[in-house]
Every structure is written in C-alpha cells, then in structure tokens.
Chain A
Amino acid sequence: MKTEKAIFLTPLQLSGIKKIPGKISKVYLGSDSCEHMLPSPEDIKKVHDMGVEPVVSVPILTDFHLERLCGLVPAMLKLYWKPEVSANDIGTVIRLREKFGSDINISAGRHLFAQWARNSLDYTAGLRDEFNISMFETDDVYTAESFLQTNKFRIAFHYPYKYYSLTRICPYKGGIYQNCDRACADRYIPLDDGSIIWRGNAYFTKSGAIPGLPPDRMILSYDMISGHVSKGDTGGIK
C-alpha cells in the first residue's frame, strides 16, 4: 500500500509558499489547536490552484467558530468534489453531516481520535460508520499501529511533531478571544532546553518515530518543507 503524503500549513505559513513539492498530494490547511487559524476561501483557492487538494483542519470548536467553518464549506464545494474537513469534536462532525450530508469527507483529527481510541474498537467503528468518517489521525505510534493492524481503519500519521499540550487562553495575550489579530504569527519556537516546540496556543515534542506499518497518509509538518524552525525574534511577546 502506498502512503499518501500531506503537509500541514496554517494560513500564515501558506502566505509564504509559492509551490508545494510534487510528492505532496494534500495540504492540511488551518490548525487543530487554534480556531483563529481557519483559512479563508482565498487560502483554499490558492492551494487548489497549486494543484493540491486542501483539507481544512479545525480544533475543538465553539458554536461561533463552528458556524464560521460551515460558512467556508460552500467555497470548498465550488472548487472541487468531496472536500475534506478534519474535525476534532463530535459536534463539528454532526453539524457538518447535517448541513452538507455526503457532499464532504470528514476525518477525525488527532484530538477527536485520541478520545475515541480509548473506547472499544466496536464503539469507534460504530462512530466511523454512523458519521462516515474517512480517515483517523494520530501522532501516537502505538495507536497508529494497533488500528492499522485491524485493517479496518484508514490512518493518517502526524510527523514529526507529537502533540503535547494546548490552551484556549492565548499565551501571547492572556485571554480567550472570538476575534484574533494572530499576534503569535504562528512561528515554531523551540524552548531553550530543546524539549518542546511552542507554536501559537499549543506545544509539541519532536517525535521522530514512525509506525512499523505504513499509514494511509503521512501529515508532515511545515518545517519539513521549509527546512527551518523560527529562530527570529518573538515579536515583543512576554
């Protein structure tokens, strides 16, 4: 089985990119930790125009941001057949299915799948069938391998950053905001002890481990193509 390759980009990262490497067939656009990184219709079109299929990635959503997502899907439907959304909470899955039926593909993002994977295989399979979930994302080698072994789940593996923690309280501004000026500039900032990469409202460790069984899709981090992690100034943040 051939592993499909995808790259994960936020809208801010996308703005600095002119070309997607040839072996990449999908671009995860958005963020699975921050609702303020929802792409615009123009972002989606830009990726589409580069000849790559966008997958919109969203974190656990509040009503406000869920409706923003629902407002974005028609723009995706205009551009290409069966657009994919990577959702991280059950409410998002339900609302998308209610509103767009089988016109879109829905994958379970790493947070949602981590929640489901704690339950029995039958339970997760039941949810997959009920909501027609096309792909399950994880950054955990054990979870990936145990589900790949069943041959019943399509698995996407995030590499090389393994999710560590996240907050809805902006580390840059100290509150929760419905609108955001993206003060974080979405840089990858390694902590000085090298243990953790800080990115916006989330923290990651660098994994390096890949499942022994090939996943259906590898979701590579932005710096896998950009070749660097930010070492610039922190924009005055404290």
Chain B
Amino acid sequence: MKIKAGIRTLEEAEYFADGGAGEIYFGINGIPSHIKNPECNVNNASVPAIRKTIEYAHSRGCRMFVAVNEINALNLKTAIFKMRELMDCGLDGFIASSPEVVRNYPAVSPVPEWHLSSLAFCLNRAALDWYKSYGFSRFVIYQHFFPEESISFFANSGMESEVFFLSDDICVNMDGLCKGCTGTPGDGKKFCHRYYYAEGKKFHCRWIDIDTEIKCFYSYAKKAGWLKLVRLTDFSHRKKVFAYAKKLVAVAGRTDNYENFKKETFDIFKNMRRLRHEN
C-alpha cells in the first residue's frame, strides 16, 4: 500500500514527495472540489509554479492529481479549460465524481488518469462497473463502506483501489450528502461536532469504535493499493498524520496476522484519536 497525500500549498508537495508519498493531490481555485473551498485549495498558484512543483514531484517518483469532484453544469466549460492547462503542466490526472466531466474532457494528449471520488457514492459493483465504463481507472472506498461490504470491489474489477485513512478527519455523516457543513441551524457549529438534545437527553453523532477502526485499516491495507490522506487540516497536523500513516503501512506490509498488527499499532491508533480531537 502506498500513500496519496492531500496538500493545501505547493510548498507542502515537496515535503510529502521527499517523505515517500507515491501520489499527491490538491484542489485549485476555479474548479470546485470540496465543500470547504477555497480554504483547503492551493490558492492563487501560478501555472509556472504548478509546473515546477509537478516536475519536482515527478523527479521524486511521485505523481500528482487535482480534485475536480464538485464541478457542476455552470462551471464545466471553464473547469475543463483549466484542467487542460494543468495536464499541459505535466499533471497525471484528476479525481472526479461525474462521468459528465470525463465525457466532456477532449480526446487530446496528454490523456488524464481518472480516479473516482467518494462523492460518486459508489457502494455496489454495478455502479462501479458503470463508472469504469466512462474511463475511471481507480475507485476509492467510501468512508462508510466497510470491508465485508466491499468484497466485490476487489474481485476482478480491473481497477486500482484506494481507501481513506479513517483514523484521520473523516465525516461521521455522509460527506457530500451532508448539509451540515454549509449551514447549521442552531449554535453555528457543524452538526456532527456538537452535542444535541432530544426529548431531554444528550446525543452526539457516533463514530466507529477503535477496534473496528483498526480492523478496517488492516483489512484494506491487505487489499487496497493506496491510502488517501485528506487535505482539510493544517500542515503541522497533516505532517503528524503522514508519519503515523507511514508507520501503519509499514507494519501492515510485514505482518500477516491481525492480532499482531493490532498489538503493534494500538498506540498509534490511540494517538491518532487524540490528534483528531486536538484538531
């Protein structure tokens, strides 16, 4: 399993490429890619700066991708124009959710590699095959999609695979289907972060327990090609996440026994929980 790291400035690319990330991805202004645009984008980067960064990453054996998964009908044309510009800079491909984007991308060289975004909400094999028919060559396991449910995705799908690092900042409610980040009635905090009261009792959106978290990591580490680290948090946080992720990937790579893996990594998962709460 290799690591795909999200960045928010071009300078961060150097850190992750030098640190051994196999791929880096980012978002840019003008191409909607995240509900938290523009704060998690690489903002105001010039074309020469992007080209230089891509060249540097490639020199370190690291490929680069841009997220284009929130493109809509209103910005499709301008987005495609920018996407072509990025491909001419040496970019390797895009993370997209809509086949319409793939279909509208012109058949010119260089040809982008298309990775399916989690915002496609692809949870069954029939859906996966449909996306593949449009040219997607890699799927991502949706955060709320557990190993026992996704068996068919790894059975001769003919696609590469990646999985989110669940121990990092992953939405409790279904990201992209949740309106909690765009406007919350009540106290102004994101719905999933706050405690709420119903019928006089206190509740909180629930996450999985640590055992399930470890099991998911181990199971996917044995099957998926890539571990995806999100780009939502500040750089210092993501550096720590990257270090933990590398350790976990290394342990999973040399361990063929789940209990041994758990024993060896339990503290890392505990630390990741702490880190998540600090952020």
Contact = CB atoms under 8 A, between A and B. Distances in A.
B196 interface: yes
B72 A118 contact: yes
B73 A91 contact: no
Contact of A61 (B123, B191, B201, B206): B123
Contact of B149 (A90, A178, A192): A178
A174 B122 CA distance: 22
A119 B100 contact: yes
A60 B198 contact: no
Contacts of A89: 121-124, 127
B81 interface: no
Given A189-B198, A203-B191, A231-B199, A170 B206 contact: yes
Interface residues of A, number: 50
Size bracket of the B interface = 35 or more
B98 A95 contact: no
Given A165-B180, A238-B203, A115 B121 contact: yes
A171 interface: yes
B144 interface: yes
Contact of B100 (A60, A62, A123, A203): A123
Contacts, number: 150
B48 interface: no
A121 B76 CA distance: 13
A131 to B, nearest CB: 10
B236 interface: no
Interface in A204-234: 205, 231-234
Contacts of B185: 193, 195-196, 205
A100 interface: no
A169 B208 contact: yes
A165 B205 CA distance: 11
B19 to A, nearest CB: 32
Contact of B98 (A118, A178, A195, A196): A118
B207 interface: yes
A142 to B, nearest CB: 13
Contact of B180 (A164, A171, A175): A164
Contact of B177 (A166, A178, A190): A166
5 contacts: A60-B121, A62-B145, A92-B127, A165-B174, A174-B208
Interface of B: 72-73, 76, 97-98, 100, 121-130, 144-146, 148-152, 172-174, 177-180, 184-187, 191-192, 196-201, 203, 205-209, 212
Interface of A: 60-64, 66, 89-92, 94-95, 98, 111, 114-115, 118-121, 123, 163-171, 174-176, 178, 189-193, 195-196, 198, 203, 205, 231-234, 237-238
